[in-house]
């Protein structure tokens, strides 16, 4: 029974660490800061738990001690199931820096259960080896079993539980496991353990209430689910429907008109056609709600579009809730964008990158090496268009300037088009255009690019935001000496993401990582 207890304690602890990312994501995102905070807090809790568990084991060498600790850990896990997300939201609102906000939330939620579960192993060693001549063998075996439980908990939670069950349901199941292990360890006749364990079990088996159909600000939640990559939510707000990943706005759609752009940046990305009017073969990395492919299919009857989307749930949501059509000119590949580009079945006239969003950026889709792979799949005259969220100038411009510097390493022509007339120091959607050297007469100046964009917008008046964006093309020098070229072995995109945490939703601004 001691070995089984060690196994369960290890499994539950790792399951809690992984579930922590799902509790923190709706308010704090899923950046490296979140994962670093969770791992650091759990390691700190284990260190303290090992020390305190050893002291407690010498003072109370009886099974009731670790059994009660398991019950307490189970009770805390129940609290996380009911209040965890609300606590994270409250803490995130009090700390502006995303690093310290993630660390504080991780500590408040997971330091207590980590400390409690960390104390179990030394206590079990004391119970299993009262004589010191067998201590090494017993300790080694119990820690091996505990680590085996950690492996099982990690794989089960990440491969099956999180993709298929709500986080609250998993947490309640973990609480029940801890309570059951406590009873088995202490024995059913030990009432000081059995009664609180029964209480934890009783609460754990009560079905969770249905999620509230309305958010705190009045949005109607149409659908939500934890996927392998995000906490995904579909919300209706007035005449519009929105897709959210964690705490980022991803896509929008008018309920009465699924094709017209709800966010202006999706129209402005059509500036790529202004640089390559004959583009017929298009690749989009990042599907989101499908705003870009819907408009492409509606506006360009002779264009085919391939989409690389990592998350199969996103594809399903785009079809079920955002009217993504089953058009033969549209093919959606459930695959990482970079992997798809390496094996792409053809060259493309236009590559649209809409996989960068506000709280986390897949760094491997930002690097010089990635852009070289993209360039290798471009047809002659091909253009790359990227939606980037950042500031053009000022203290929060480092991310966008690093993008610009990296693109200039690969493409001789790079242009910046803010989506809306926002102050350069403000965070905003900026469309980055890049293409190969077209020879004489050389790169376009601001007026030439504006005329090309306006001409394309005149041919397609349904792209309402495109003509306006031509008026505020950014043509000032972009200083890049203080920002890195993003490389596969060094792309500090999380550190460059200095933005306010409120993430409001002004019209036309700041959805990202999917159209």
Q: Give the residue numbers of the binding site for S-methyl-5'-thioadenosine.
A: 309, 336-337
For residues 359 and 245, what is the distance between their CA atoms, to the nearest angstrom?
A: 9
- Ordered DSSP codes for 194-213: HHHHHHHHHHHHSPPPPPPS
CA neighbours closer than 13 Å in the CB half-sphere of residue 153: 25
For residues 414 and 418, what is the distance between their CA atoms, to the nearest angstrom?
A: 13
CB-CB contact of 29 with 246 (8 Å): yes
CB-CB contact of 358 with 505 (8 Å): no
- Ordered DSSP codes for 105-155: HHHHHHHHHHHHHHTHHHHHHHHH-SSGGGHHHHHHHHHHHHHHHHHHHHH
For residues 350 and 347, what is the distance between their CA atoms, to the nearest angstrom?
A: 9
CA-wise closest residue to 403 among 505, 294, 491, 273? 491
For residues 76 and 174, what is the distance between their CA atoms, to the nearest angstrom?
A: 11
CA neighbours closer than 13 Å in the CB half-sphere of residue 376: 13
Burial of 132 (0-12, 13-18, 19+ CB in 10 A): exposed
CB-CB contact of 43 with 34 (8 Å): no
For residues 158 and 78, what is the distance between their CA atoms, to the nearest angstrom?
A: 20
- Cα-Cα-Cα-Cα torsion 65, 69, 75, 81, nearest 10 degrees, comes to -160
Residue 185 token pair: 């360890």
List 246, 267, 311, 354, catalytic entry: 354
Per the annotation, the verdict on 354 as an active-site residue is yes
For residues 273 and 384, what is the distance between their CA atoms, to the nearest angstrom?
A: 10
Which residues pair with residue 237 across a beta bridge?
A: 240
Chain-centre distance for alpha carbon 289: 16
Binding-site residues, in ranges, read 309, 336-337
Residue 433 token pair: 């255009």
Residues 6 or more apart whose Cβ sits within 8 Å of residue 373: 338, 341, 342
For residues 34 and 97, what is the distance between their CA atoms, to the nearest angstrom?
A: 12
101-124 burial, b for 16+ CB within 10 Å, e for fewer?
bbbbbbbebbbbbbbbbbbbbbbb
Site of tokens 């309305």: 214
| Residues designated catalytic | 354
């Amino acid at each position: 029974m001691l070995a089984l207890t060690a196994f369960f304690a290890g499994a539950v602890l790792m399951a809690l660490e992984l579930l922590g990312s799902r509790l923190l994501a709706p308010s704090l995102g899923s950046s490296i800061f979140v994962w670093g905070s969770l791992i650091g807090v759990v390691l700190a809790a284990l260190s303290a738990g090992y020390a305190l568990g050893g002291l407690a084991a010498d003072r109370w060498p009886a099974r009731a001690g670790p059994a009660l600790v398991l019950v307490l850990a189970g009770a805390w896990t129940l609290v996380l199931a009911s209040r965890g997300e609300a606590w994270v939201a409250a803490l995130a609102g009090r700390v502006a820096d995303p690093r310290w906000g993630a660390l504080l939330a991780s500590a408040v939620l997971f330091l207590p259960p980590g400390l409690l579960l960390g104390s179990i192993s030394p206590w079990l060693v004391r119970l299993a080896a009262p004589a010191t001549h067998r201590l090494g063998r017993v300790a080694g075996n119990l820690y091996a079993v505990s680590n085996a439980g950690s492996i099982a908990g990690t794989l089960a939670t990440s491969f099956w539980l999180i993709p298929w069950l709500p986080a609250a349901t998993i947490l309640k199941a973990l609480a029940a496991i801890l309570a059951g292990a406590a009873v088995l360890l202490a024995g059913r006749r030990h009432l000081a353990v059995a009664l609180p364990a029964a209480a934890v079990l009783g609460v754990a088996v009560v079905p969770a209430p249905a999620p509230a159909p309305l958010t705190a600000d009045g949005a109607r939640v149409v659908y939500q689910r934890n996927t392998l990559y995000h906490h995904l939510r579909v919300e209706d707000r007035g005449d519009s429907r929105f897709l959210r990943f964690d705490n980022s706005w991803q896509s929008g759609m008018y309920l009465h008109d699924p094709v017209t752009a709800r966010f202006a940046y999706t129209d402005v990305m059509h500036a790529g056609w202004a640089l390559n009017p004959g583009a017929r073969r298009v690749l989009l990395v990042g599907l989101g709600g499908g705003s870009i492919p819907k408009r492409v299919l509606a506006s360009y009857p002779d264009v085919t579009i391939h989409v690389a989307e990592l998350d199969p749930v996103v594809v399903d949501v785009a079809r079920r809730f955002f009217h993504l059509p089953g058009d033969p000119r549209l093919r959606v590949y459930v695959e990482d964008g970079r992997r798809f580009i390496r094996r792409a079945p053809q060259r493309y006239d236009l590559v649209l990158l809409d996989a960068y969003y506000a709280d986390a950026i897949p760094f491997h889709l930002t690097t010089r090496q990635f852009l070289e792979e993209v360039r290798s799949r471009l047809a002659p005259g091909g253009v790359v268009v990227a939606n980037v969220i950042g500031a053009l100038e000022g203290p929060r411009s480092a991310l966008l300037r690093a993008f610009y510097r990296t693109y200039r390493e690969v493409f001789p022509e790079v242009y910046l088009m803010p989506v809306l007339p926002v102050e350069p120091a403000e965070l905003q959607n900026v469309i980055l255009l890049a293409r190969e050297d077209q020879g004489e007469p050389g790169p376009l100046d601001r007026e030439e690019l504006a005329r090309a964009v306006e001409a394309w917008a005149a041919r397609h008046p349904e792209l309402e935001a495109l003509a306006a964006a031509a008026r505020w093309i950014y043509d000032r020098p972009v200083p890049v000496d203080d920002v890195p070229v993003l490389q596969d072995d060094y792309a500090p995109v999380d550190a460059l993401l200095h933005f306010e945490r409120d993430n409001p939703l002004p019209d036309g601004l700041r959805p990202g990582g999917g159209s």
